[in-house]
Structure 1
Amino acid sequence: MKNFIQKNSKLAVVFTATALTILGSCSDDYLEEVTFGEVPPSELTTADNVEKVIISAYSVLNGQIDDASNAYNSPASNWSFGDVVSDDAYKGGGGTGDQSQIHQMELYNTNSVIYDVERKWMALYEGVKRTNEAIKLVDASEDFEADVQTQRRAELRFLRGHYYFELKKIYNQIPYIDETAETVEDYARSNTEFTSEELWGKIEGDFQAAYDVLPDTQEEVGRPTKLAAMAYLAKTYLFQEKWQDAFDATTLVMGGNYGLMDDFQSVFLPENDNGIEVVFAVQYSVNDGQADNYNGSIGDRLTAPGGPFYSQYGFHRPSQNLVNTFKTDSEGLPLVDNIDVTATDNVDPRLDITVGRPGIPYKDLDILYEDSWARDLATYGAFGPKKRILSANNALHVNVWPYVDALNYYIIRYAEVLLWRAEAAVELGDLEAARGLVNEIRLRAANSQYVQTLEGTADAANYNIATYDAIWTDADDAMEKVRLETRLELAMEGHRFFNLVRWGIAKDVIDDYLEVEKTKRSHLTNAAFTAGKNEYWPIPQEYIDGVDETVTQNSGY
């Protein structure tokens, strides 16, 4: 078992009359209290019990809140919210009727009663609620040593910052509630009480407070560090186009203990998933005594690729467009022509670490991936997820229901920090700094272990990747290269759609994607992205109905 904070929801306690049992009729579906045991009020603020409440705040990071197996509707990895609605992936599964609500999301036909829209909101506000209650209990407790008490409060500020960051990037205009909430009515808030700028300021405030207090390292690796808070601050600045602040924040992160691993493929192994490249992660474990292994990757359980070693759920299928993006020219640089990859084409070696392709060995299973692994080949094509799929040979993969594993989900990894810095550098006019950063990532890919044939005597495909040697002199071209590298490096990690939105190019990119993909994938025939609407998800209708007219639905819904 990994050495980290146990995210066991059985540690959650009931908040008695001195705390909230959130919420009442207006939103109990969104801030759901899961009762596992009673704690007398006199014992609620003992250090041991407060630590359990803190752990319950961590436990929501994986999107699992109610001892049900449907955390795939609120996944920490955002595979449906960040990839399926982008040009990186199709929904997959057993046809368009399988998780049909995600199919509607893929077509940009989302509405305010879609279950995933409600479920994600519910999970994130449950995280907010638990952190708020834990902050109050930490402040009220007289049992903590002063330095531990201060640190725990900082950890909770970090967690709350994370939950609100996710809410902001998904729903945009959101209700904001902090630890001063005392009653049910305090949680039935308008989503227009604060401007977008004010909401970002509050999120920044949580990460800054965390940075000011957190230690450089943690004995329990599931807890955030000082530089993890600074990295999240950098991301917050990036989403607001505060380029100098973002650049300066990444300077601090790069001065710490993080770095790129030597081998790209090794980043996604459980023995390395708290290594030097992982800034902050959702901690997963299996075979730890938790019923049904719900501490494992429960939100990703539908993404198993099928075939003889995995279950046949078959969701989160890489798109043809994504695969084509990995093509390279004779010099090893990206060849962006969106012509389907053939067996003789040069490709970036990260392709066959990221995507299961027919004829290419899959993991260490001594088998070639085949198109027959696809559950619905006719609808979603042959490609399968690979990067974040754990080998079925690994003891941390559970080969019985619910088919989860203990490979962490990386909320932030160091390569992403370098790409943020490159983006900020371009915006600040330092194109050569951006080129150097992109080249660091490409050089790591070039020097990584390439996927080999089953015999182990040759590369499995024509891998060819090189750094950009020519000086970058055009800012627009430099930004295109940074954005492309961001796509290649972070593919299938749940970030793509949110990047397209913050770059302001979602409409153009998705229109171009659909124009070609509709000729290959009939399930996308009715897909249409509406600018000014589909950049964000709707506020759940049940929340609107349960509060009052002060809640305003997002544009277009």
Structure 2
Amino acid sequence: MEKIKRLFGIVGAALVVAMTIYACDTDSFLSSPAQGTLSSDVLANEDGVDGNLIAAYSMLDGYGNYGGWGTAASNWTFGSVSSDNAYKGSEPGDQQPIADVEFYNWGTSGVDTYVNDKWSSTYDGINRANATLELLASVDEVTGEDRASIEGEAKFLRAHYHFEAWKMWKNIPYYTEEAEDFRKPNTGNNPIQSILADLNDAIELLPTSQSEAGRVTQWTAKAYKGRVEAYTGDWESALSTLREVEQSGPYALRDNFHQVFSASGGNGSETILAYQASVNDGEPGGANGNYPDRLNFPHSGSPFGCCGFHQPSQNLVNAFKVDGGTGLPLPITDPNNWNSDDDNFAAGDMTPVDPRLDWTVGRDGVPFLDWGEHAPGWIRDRGYSGPYSAKKTVWEQGTDAGSSVGWSSFQLHFQNLHLYRYADALLLLAEAEVEVGSLENARTIVNRIRERAGQAAQGPGTSLDNIEVPIDDPAITWANYQVGTYDTPWTSASEAREAVRVERRLELAMEGHRYFDLRRWGIAQETLNNYLDVEETRREYLTGSDGYQERNNLYPIPSVQRELSEVDGESTLEQNPGW
């Protein structure tokens, strides 16, 4: 991990080929040396190959020293604010393109810029992976297991970045190191087939463990393959792949939920793929410290000072309420009334709640890790986007994880960013079990997740030692934490399916998955329009949304990429339907 962090600063300096461009009106770059980069002659050695590979890893957070907040690998804009989990936050007019994403008004020039930033960052990662493979082919001194691992890591990263693009647009071009022209069409190919081929190669090439934390392994590739199979609805394949990961892989749930998001934890048993964040490492702007996510802290009035984006919705907060008798989610036990509470849900309201609520959401009067109680003054504009703050990406005061350099440096930190974790994989396996009819296996998995949720709650937080306490600790005076398991067998696939989906929302809330889940389940339009019908009565600004339409099932292809792909005046990138 230290080597990976040390080399993050080379971002892009080692690239030797370029297939993706961001602002150019000719294709001469294909035959011209890139300005400010090292030549292939200088890099044609083992260190150069490894440097290229680390440059590919460095794009895992989405930041490549260009673009805006849309590049974030956490997908807080495109996967969370676009869903029923979160509002844009902040105040009116600040980062209007994110408001347009929230409104499903994705045809604006602002959203076009944001999606272009996302396109650029994903294809930059692809380019860096391909640069590694191209350079590796010319360097004979890298041999044996080292050569196989580098090739496997690069192919895994190429698959990951393409999958991120596929989640956004589905109709995408797939680039390998053999591509000679970046102007490839995005139709008439099967990117999922290519993604799976790269993952299969990675599985064959990668070792089962690595000496440096942060590098991917054979198990990373297997777990990721199961993810791709689940997202595409290939349930039989996902079942086989993810069962092997569960039964034979090295992963395990952390002892309690907070440990997954603690800056003191680094990589743990639950980490499948994470961005290895780093600060105070010589990078002058703190860019290795989760740069694209730094807006998502409480605003001035809080210990953080900025910036109040990505605020949890009232709908999400209500979803964490549980039945007082069983400890099961109210969306399951009372599906018609669980979302009826319009009021600020603050400390002292003893409505039973899942303890994951206060690991995910900052609420007034409730301790906020070890930073003191969340207070009304921590919110930038409560009348605009509500009283709640995002919490999972905030580090504990006692870890001293913040950066000392960079704009708004307090929000730059060394807490690793999980891109895929074991609980996510288990819940995908539970979905597969449901879809093939193994309801008891699915129930067992969901109960494992819920049992872990009950291991600790937010404590007084006067120090690192008492952030985590038992859920019935007498020091807890602000909430009534309960979490139960499904003790009665599920009798139908529909019952089981809904329980798994609710569990996935609670476990992964504010991690950028929700929109993509709703879309792949085929319920995005119904769910999100129902959400808006109620939520606009709570947050008046949401009345500006025209609602979710069929075209919102895919993000629009960025206009500049379509222009750059033109051959004889015709774009090789076909726009997604409705845009």
TM category, shorter = over 0.9
Structure 2: runs of 5+ lacking an equivalent: 332-337, 467-472
SS in structure 2 of the partner of residue 538 of structure 1: coil
1:382-422 Cα deviation digits (max 9, x unpaired): 00011221123422123662331111111111111110111
Q: CA deviation at 1:20?
A: 4.0
SS in structure 2 of the partner of residue 405 of structure 1: coil
2:459 to 445, 451, 465: 451
Q: CA deviation at 1:531?
A: 3.5
Match of 1:62 in 2: 61
Match of 1:265 in 2: 258
Q: CA deviation at 1:449?
A: 3.9
Cα distance in 2 for partners of 1:345, 1:213 equals 52
Cα distance in 1 for partners of 2:316, 2:139 equals 52
Counterpart of 1:353, as a letter, is W
Q: How does 1:365-404 map to 2 (within 5 A)?
A: 365=371, 367-398=372-403, 401-402=408-409, 403-404=411-412
- The answer to whether the aligner puts 1:358 opposite 2:364 as a matched pair is yes
SS in structure 1 of the partner of residue 268 of structure 2: coil
Counterpart of 1:467, as a letter, is T
TM-score, length of structure 1 as denominator length: 0.93
Match of 1:292 in 2: 285
Q: Conserved in 1, the CA contact under 8 Å of 2:11 and 2:58? A: no
1:154-182 Cα deviation digits (max 9, x unpaired): 00000000000000010110122211123
Match of 1:312 in 2: 306
Structure 1: runs of 5+ lacking an equivalent: none
Structure 1 vs Structure 2 CA RMSD: 2.3
Cα distance in 1 for partners of 2:33, 2:351 equals 53
Q: CA deviation at 1:551?
A: 2.1
1:253 to 238, 242, 245: 245
Distance 1:11 1:520, change over 3 A: closer
Q: CA deviation at 1:41?
A: 4.0
Counterpart of 1:339, as a letter, is S
1:74 to 64, 71, 74: 71
Q: Conserved in 2, the CA contact under 8 Å of 1:310 and 1:399? A: no
Q: CA deviation at 1:6?
A: 3.6
Q: Conserved in 2, the CA contact under 8 Å of 1:27 and 1:543? A: no
- The answer to whether the aligner puts 1:91 opposite 2:91 as a matched pair is no
SS in structure 2 of the partner of residue 293 of structure 1: coil
2:207 to 204, 210, 215: 215
Cα distance in 2 for partners of 1:399, 1:303 equals 18
Match of 2:222 in 1: 230
Match of 1:338 in 2: 339
SS in structure 1 of the partner of residue 340 of structure 2: coil
Distance 1:145 1:480, change over 3 A: same
Match of 2:43 in 1: 44
Match of 2:335 in 1: none
Q: Conserved in 2, the CA contact under 8 Å of 1:112 and 1:540? A: no
Q: How does 1:23-34 map to 2 (within 5 A)?
A: 23=21, 25=24
Report the count of equivalent residues: 543
Distance 1:462 1:15, change over 3 A: closer
Q: Conserved in 1, the CA contact under 8 Å of 2:519 and 2:553? A: yes
Counterpart of 2:76, as a letter, is W
Cα distance in 2 for partners of 1:5, 1:286 equals 9
Cα distance in 2 for partners of 1:394, 1:27 equals 49
Q: CA deviation at 1:312?
A: 2.3
Q: Conserved in 2, the CA contact under 8 Å of 1:280 and 1:411? A: yes
Q: How does 1:161-172 map to 2 (within 5 A)?
A: 161-172=159-170
Match of 1:302 in 2: 295
Cα distance in 1 for partners of 2:219, 2:14 equals 33
Distance 1:147 1:36, change over 3 A: farther
- The answer to whether the aligner puts 1:531 opposite 2:529 as a matched pair is no
Match of 2:480 in 1: 462
Distance 1:35 1:221, change over 3 A: farther
Match of 1:150 in 2: 148
Match of 2:575 in 1: 553
SS in structure 1 of the partner of residue 88 of structure 2: strand
Counterpart of 1:377, as a letter, is R
Q: How does 1:179-194 map to 2 (within 5 A)?
A: 179-182=177-180, 186-194=181-189
Q: CA deviation at 1:463?
A: 0.5
SS in structure 1 of the partner of residue 413 of structure 2: coil
Counterpart of 1:381, as a letter, is G
Match of 1:101 in 2: 97
